[in-house]
Amino acid sequence: MFLNLWHSFMQGRPVLTQASLSDASALAELHEASFARGWSSLEFEAMLADHNILTVVARRAGPATSRRPVGFVMVRRALDEAEVLTIAVARSHRGKGLGRDLMEEAMRRLYADRISTLFLEVSETNEPACRLYRRLGFAKVGERKGYYAGAEGAASGALVMRANLR
Ligand SMILES: CC(C)(COP(=O)(O)OP(=O)(O)OC[C@H]1O[C@@H](n2cnc3c(N)ncnc32)[C@H](O)[C@@H]1OP(=O)(O)O)[C@@H](O)C(=O)NCCC(=O)NCCS
């Protein structure tokens, strides 16, 4: 654990930890910057206080450390299954593998909690997210046509995806 933190610090890579209640407003900002419909700080506070929800955050490491998260993933557990509620990475940090690191860390923790299956839902037009999930072993198990409302009445379908963790 300490060695991992030290390596991240030396390489300036974000450090992954479990979120705390005090992250609520920063997570609301990150979420609002990433999605058409944001979730409020109050909604994040309620989710962070929920013991069935796992939230992994990425914080910048290095000498000029800002403790504000630059990415996060939230997963809800139910018996031996779980679903990804949301994942977002700050625009300035995208395309560097952070989304993948966050998902892998969440999946490791779920595996340790004896979760066997992880589900998620993603817009079929969200190319970075679809690539990320396929690379992690998720496969399509369902489709909801016209699920997401788009600009000027255009709608896109939602893919339901599943990964087996054990
Ligand atoms: C989806 C998201 C979390 C990915 O985070 P990230 O840190 O950029 O992801 P990574 O750097 O780990 O890259 C993941 C994959 O996406 C690809 N990718 C990254 N940016 C891309 C882009 N602009 N266009 C196409 N593919 C892209 C990467 O190449 C990688 O695929 P690969 O492993 O096949 O090379 C991030 O784009 C984001 O926050 N998007 C807005 C919120 C969102 O859509 N969340 C998902 C909701 S289901």
| Per-residue pLDDT tens listing for the chain (166 residues) | 555 655 555 566 899 999 999 999 999 999 999 998 899 999 999 999 999 999 999 998 765 445 789 999 999 999 999 999 999 999 999 999 999 999 999 999 999 999 999 999 999 999 999 999 999 999 999 999 988 877 666 788 999 999 999 9
Give the pTM: 0.92
Whether 132 lines ligand 1, by a CB cut-off of 6 Å, is yes
Task: For the beta carbon of residue 143, count every other beta carbon within 10 angstroms.
Answer: 11
CATH of domain 2-164: 3.40.630.30
C-alpha of residue 89 to centroid of ligand 1, in Å: 8
* CB neighbour list of residue 5: distance below 8 Å, 6 or more residues apart: 15, 61
Q: Whole-angstrom Cα distance, residue 47 to residue 53? A: 7
Q: Looking at the CA of residue 100, tell me the nearest atom of ligand 1.
A: 12
Boundaries of every domain in the chain: 2-164
Token pair belonging to 34:
């990433």
Distance CA 88, CA 148 (A): 18
Measured from the Cα of 134, ligand 1's closest atom is 34
Q: Measured in angstroms, how far is the CA atom of residue 134 from the centroid of ligand 1?
A: 11
* 98 CA: nearest ligand 1 atom: 7
